[in-house]
Structure 1
C-alpha cells in the first residue's frame, strides 16, 4: 500500500491544477555534491548502489531529509536497461559509462534481448522500499532514458560530442535504426511499468542527447519511439515528464509525444518556451545548474526571474535545466529553494 501523500503540490502542478506555491525539485538532487552520498560511494560502486534496494532508497532520501523539496526521484542511472539486454556496462573513473560491446551491426541489434519486467526486480524493490520510507511526505518520481539517448550510448560505446557513429548508422541504415529503437522503446516501457507497479507517482523520460538532432531528424528518427512509450504508459494514470537538453528548436515536436510535462533546459526563456508549446501542457525548469555556483544574491535574482516569467500560471514545476553538478555548494541549493518559496507563492 502506498502511504497517502501529505504534499501533492508537485503532482497537482504536473496536471496544471492550482497550487499554493510553485513546487521545486532538482534533477540529480541525490548525488556527488552531498557529503552523505560521497560517504556511501566510498564503499560502493554506482551500479551497486543502483541495484541494492536498501542503498538506492537511502540515497534517494538523503536530499529529502536535507532540503524542503516537493518530490523525490529514485536513485538510478538511465543506462541500467542496457545490461539485461546483453550490453557490458561499466563506469570508469573520470570517463563515465563505457559499453564494452557496442552496437554496430545487424548482428549486434539482433542479439539484443527485449527483456520484460522480471529483469528489473531490483528497481521494483528499491521503489517500494523508498515509498514506504517516504511515508507520504512527497511523491516519488521514477525515470528512464529515452530510446534515442540509450541507442546513442550503445552505438558510441559511451559518451560522445559529435554522435558521428550514431548518426552514420541512423542515416545509412534507417531500417536497422528503427528496429534498434523499437527494442529500446519496448524495454524502457517494461522498465517504467515496473516502477509504476511499485508505486512511482510520476515518470520522467530523459532524452538527454536528443538535442543533437535537427527538427526534421528528430521527427523522423526519435519522436515515433518516444510517442510509442508514452502511449503505452498513458493508461497507468501517472503524470509523464519528457525532458531533453539542447532542445529549444524541438519543443513543439516534443510536445507531440504526448507527455503531461515538458522539461526545459536553460537555453530558452521559460515564458517564450511555454508560449510556443501552448498552455495545455505543464513545464518544468529551467535554472542553469552553474548558477548554483554563483553568489546567493545572483541565485535569488535568477530564481525570481524564472518565477516571474511563469506568472503563477498553473503547471510550472521549478527545476534546473539539467542535473545538479558536482561541487555545487549545499548552502546554495538551500538558497535556491528558499528563493522559490519566497517568490513562488500563488495568490
Structure 2
C-alpha cells in the first residue's frame, strides 16, 4: 500500500539497532516559526480547520521536511482531538490557547462522556494515510496522542492551567471520579493510536505534558498507570514491522525507571534531565529521545553546534539515541537555525556509531 522506506535510522534507533549516525526530528517541527506554515494556516482560516482538513494537514506536515534533512515526520494534529470528539467543544482563542465549551467536573459529567473511537476521529486517520503516501518512503511517520492525565487536565480545567486546582481537587477529593475519566481516556487513546498505526503511522508518541505537575505517588496512580494500560493495548507490530512507542513526560526525569518498566521502546527527555545520567539509570532497557533546550535555537550557529556536541557526548557511543528538543520548538525561532542543529547532529553523531556504515543502503541490507 505504501512505498518502501528509504531512511529508517529513526526507527532503528528507537529499537536500539545499528545506525550510521544519530537520527533527529523536532517536536512541533511543523509550526508557527515557519513562514510557509503561517501562510497555510491563514489560507485554512484557523488552527482547527488546518487540523481537520487532510490536505492541509499533509501540506504542513511536509513543510519542515522540504527545508531540513529530518529523519522523521510527525502527524500535524493536536493532542485535544480526543476530548473534542467526546463532545466538549474545543476552540482556540488568540493568545489564550485551547479552551472547551464544556468542562468535566462531576461523576455525572464523566458518566455522560462517550469513549472516542476512530470513527469519531476519521479525519485524523485520513490525514495519516494521506501523509504517509505523500512522504513516498522518504522518512517514517510518527503518530501521537496526549496521555490520559494530560487530556484530563484540559477537560477538567476547561483549558490551560497554571495551578491545576480543579483536577487536583478532584484527584484528592473524588479520586474514583477521576479514575473513571482516565480509564475512558485510556481506552480512547488505545483505539486512537491503533487506528493511526493501521492508517500508516510507523511509530507513535504519547505526550504526557502535565505529568510533571504531580507528586511521585500521584504520578504513579493517575498518569503512569494509565500510560501502562495504553502500552498493554497498543499494536506493537503491523504488517510485519515493529511499531516503536515513545513515552514523554515533561518534567518527569525523576521517574525514568518506572516509566521504562511501563513498556515503551523509548523515553523522551526534557532539557532538565542529564542524558548521561538518564542512560546510566535505564541501561539498555529503552532508547532515549532528546533533549536539548529549545531556546538554544535562538543562539548562533557556533553555539548550537557546541550544545549539540554536548548532548551527543552525554549519550555516548552506540545506538538507542534519537536527537530532539527537550520540548516543542518556539514560534519565534529563526527558521534558518534548525538546519544548524540538524546538520550538526548528523555530522557529529557519526563518531558515536560502530560499525560505521557507508550509507543507508548498508543498513537496509542487515
Tell me the CA shift for residue 234 of structure 1: 4.3
- Is 1:304–2:309 an aligned residue pair? yes
Output the CA distance in 2 between the equivalents of 1:189 and 1:119. Answer: 14
Structure 1 match to 2:194 = 193
**Shift of residue 337 of structure 1?**
0.7
- Which residue in the other structure is 1:19 paired with? 19
Q: Is 1:123–1:194's contact at 8 Å kept on the other side of the alignment?
A: no
Q: CA deviation at 1:235?
A: 3.9
Consecutive unaligned residues of structure 1, counting only runs of 5 or more, are: none
SS at match of 1:319: coil
The 5-angstrom pairing of residues 161-172 of structure 1 reads 161-172=162-173
Q: Deviations over 1:311-339 (max 9, x none)?
A: 12210000000000001111110100111
RMSD: 1.0
Question: Could you tell which deviates more after superposition, 236-245 or 174-183?
Answer: 236-245
1:230-269 equivalences in 2 (<5 Å):
230-236=231-237, 237-269=242-274
2:342 aligns to what?
337
**Aligned-partner SS, 2:3:** coil
Taking the aligned partners of 1:174 and 1:256, their CA distance within structure 2 comes to: 24
- Tell me the SS of whatever aligns to 1:91: strand
Contact 2:260 2:285 (C-alpha < 8 Å) held by counterparts: no
Any runs of at least 4 consecutive aligned residues in structure 1 with deviations exceeding 6 A, and if so which?
Answer: none
Q: Distance in 2 between matches of 1:117 and 1:207?
A: 21
Please list the CA deviations of residues 42-68 of structure 1 after superposition, one character each: whole Å capped at 9, or x if unmatched.
122111111100000010000111100
CA distance in 1, matches of 2:275, 2:235: 26
Stretch deviating more after TM superposition (46-55 or 213-222):
213-222
Q: What is the SS of the residue equivalent to 2:281?
A: helix
What SS does the corresponding residue of 1:243 show, helix, strand or coil?
A: strand
TM-score, normalised to structure 2's length?
0.93
Structure 2 unaligned spans of 5+: 355-366
1:287 aligns with 2:288: no
Corresponding position: 1:206 with 2:210: no
**8 Å contact 2:81–2:121 — kept in the other structure?**
no
Report the count of equivalent residues: 347
**Alignment CA distance shift 1:260-1:2 (3 Å):** same
1:146-165 pair list within 5 angstroms: 146-165=147-166
Structure 2 CA distance for aligned equivalents of residues 3 and 110 of structure 1: 44
TM-score by length of 1: 0.98
CA distance in 1, matches of 2:87, 2:265: 32
The CA distance in 1 between the partners of 2:49 and 2:259, in whole Å, is: 33
Partners of 1:86 and 1:111 within 8 A in 2: no
CA shift digits 1:186-227 (9 cap, x unpaired): 111111111001110000000001001111111122221111
